């Protein structure tokens, strides 16, 4: 394992330059991948067939220039890929423990590696349709795990398949469903950021899935970038992996034959304010009493000193793309005389597992008339539909 200080790349005067390593660790001869837990300071070599009975080879990298062997995970043989985290999910027994979620060829294998000298295997679970359990990633709340199988498309002729796991119980995880993509390509590596999964699926390229309804085992493709335009056959060409964690929102994709792609996902549709069926009337609630409109301009229910009424609206397509700042969310209201006023958005909250968001705004001081008002939202320059909110004296 080579260690290289990336800050050395900042001041290259005359490229190209051939660099030497800053440190070298020779505790294993080969590995398939290396996973890092930046929070705990440990590296995990997966696929190290010459050590640890092919299981995880753990390395202490608190001092990156002086890596030290920390232990082996060898209870379940070969590990192809892993993700190791300081666990903060629903299984209270393991809160704060360092847990590895490993893809072990035919199982999802979960191991407590808090004690590096004596790791504990918590579960080893296979599933219907297994071909080659390749890799997967946790949702940010550590409640679910999406898994890619590299050979199910080849052996079974299915479309690109992602397996959805509920991992609320680390001792007994369960597969709750599968997502079949629109192409026949093989899925390889996936990563999750927010409510988006970024999948590198060989010949069909980068596929971006909305996972906001993962609790109902429902995923939905919202975007893609195909780096292998020839076909989507289940063969080993094209997109190999990706990295969606830059604060800028940029996603990089590595192609086996094609090289590096630097992409910026963009929203393809505006926010949508929810309205009653076959109507422009907004689904709007008073922020304290939760009563439907009509609303008074002032409200004694409010705890704020100004007593201006606060209104809750429901909206969809409010997901931020990676790196997007939701302070770009603005709102406006148009009175019956077509005067337009800016609205102060006071809060924004996702509705769990519904693909919706609650937006709370305050009625401005400038409004003094009553009747049907039209409200709209703007997110990063994309403007929603106008929905009617009724105000009364």
> What is the structure's pLDDT at 320?
65
> What is the structure's pLDDT at 301?
67
Helix (H) or strand (E) holding 86: strand 81-86
User: Tens digit of pLDDT for each residue in 202-223?
Assistant: 999 999 998 888 999 999 898 8
CB 57 within 8 A of CB 29: no
Residue 324 has pLDDT above 60, yes or no: no
pTM for the whole thing?
0.75
User: Tens digit of pLDDT for each residue in 163-185?
Assistant: 999 999 999 999 999 999 999 99
Mean pLDDT on 129-154: 97
Rounded CA-CA distance 101/85 in Å is: 8
Q: What is the CATH number of domain 2-263?
A: 2.130.10.10
Strands 174-180, 161-166: pairing is: antiparallel
* SS3 assignment, position 99: strand
Rounded CA-CA distance 155/177 in Å is: 19
**Residue 62: count of CB within 10 angstroms of its CB:** 11
* Fold classified for 272-392: Immunoglobulin-like (2.60.40)
- 12-31 burial code (b ≥16 CB/10 A, e <16): eeeeeeeeeeeeebebbeeb
Q: Quickly state the pLDDT bin for 323 (edges 50, 70, 90).
A: very low
User: Domain spans of the chain?
Assistant: 2-263, 272-392
Closest CA to 201 of 260, 256, 157, 268: 256
The tokens for 173 are 């995880």
**Could you give the C-alpha distances from 5 to 8, 41, 60, in angstroms and in order?**
6, 16, 17
Rounded CA-CA distance 17/369 in Å is: 69
Mean pLDDT on 301-321: 80
Rounded CA-CA distance 50/30 in Å is: 7
Kindly report the average pLDDT of the chain as a whole number. Answer: 92
Query: Cα–chain-centroid distance for residue 353?
Result: 14
- Which residues lie across from 390 on neighbouring strands? 372
Q: Quickly state the pLDDT bin for 60 (edges 50, 70, 90).
A: very high
User: Tens digit of pLDDT for each residue in 89-115?
Assistant: 999 999 999 999 999 999 999 999 999
**How many residues does this entry show for the chain?**
393
Closest CA to 372 of 386, 353, 358, 384: 386
The tokens for 65 are 């220039």
- Which residues lie across from 130 on neighbouring strands? none
């Amino acid at each position: 394992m080579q260690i290289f200080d990336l800050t050395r790349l900042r001041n290259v005067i005359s490229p190209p330059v051939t660099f030497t390593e800053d440190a070298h660790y020779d505790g294993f001869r080969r590995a398939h991948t290396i996973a890092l837990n930046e929070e705990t300071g440990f590296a995990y070599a997966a696929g190290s067939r010459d050590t640890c009975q092919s299981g995880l080879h753990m390395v202490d990298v608190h001092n990156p220039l002086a890596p030290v062997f920390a232990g082996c995970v060898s209870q379940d043989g070969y590990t192809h890929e892993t993700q190791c985290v300081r666990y903060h999910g629903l299984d209270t027994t393991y809160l704060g423990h360092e847990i590895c979620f490993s893809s072990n060829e035919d199982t999802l294998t979960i191991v407590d590696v808090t004690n590096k000298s004596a790791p504990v295997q918590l579960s080893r679970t296979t599933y219907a349709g297994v071909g080659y359990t390749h890799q997967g990633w946790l949702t940010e709340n550590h409640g679910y795990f999406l898994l890619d199988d590299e050979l199910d498309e080849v052996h079974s002729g299915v479309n690109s398949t992602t397996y959805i796991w509920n991992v609320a119980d680390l001792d007994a995880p369960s597969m709750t469903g599968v997502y079949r993509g629109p192409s026949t390509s093989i899925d390889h590596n996936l990563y999750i950021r927010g409510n988006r999964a970024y999948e590198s699926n060989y010949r069909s390229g980068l596929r971006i899935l909305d996972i906001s309804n993962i609790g109902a085992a429902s995923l939905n493709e919202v975007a893609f970038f195909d780096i292998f335009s020839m076909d989507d056959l289940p063969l080993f060409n094209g997109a190999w992996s990706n990295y969606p964690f830059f604060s800028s929102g940029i996603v990089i994709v590595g192609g086996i034959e094609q090289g590096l792609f630097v992409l910026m996902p963009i929203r393809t549709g505006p926010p949508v304010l929810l309205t009653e069926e076959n109507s422009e009337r907004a689904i709007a609630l008073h922020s304290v009493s939760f009563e439907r409109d009509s609303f008074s301009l002032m409200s004694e229910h409010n705890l704020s000193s100004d007593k201006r009424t606060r209104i809750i609206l429901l909206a969809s397509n409010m997901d931020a793309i990676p790196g997007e700042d939701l302070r770009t969310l603005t709102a406006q209201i148009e009175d019956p005389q077509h005067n337009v006023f800016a609205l102060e958005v006071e809060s924004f909250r996702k509705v769990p597992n519904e693909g919706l968001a609650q937006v709370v705004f305050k009625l401005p001081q400038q409004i003094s008339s009553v009747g049907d008002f039209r409200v709209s939202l703007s997110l990063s320059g994309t403007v929603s539909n106008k929905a009617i909110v009724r105000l009364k004296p």
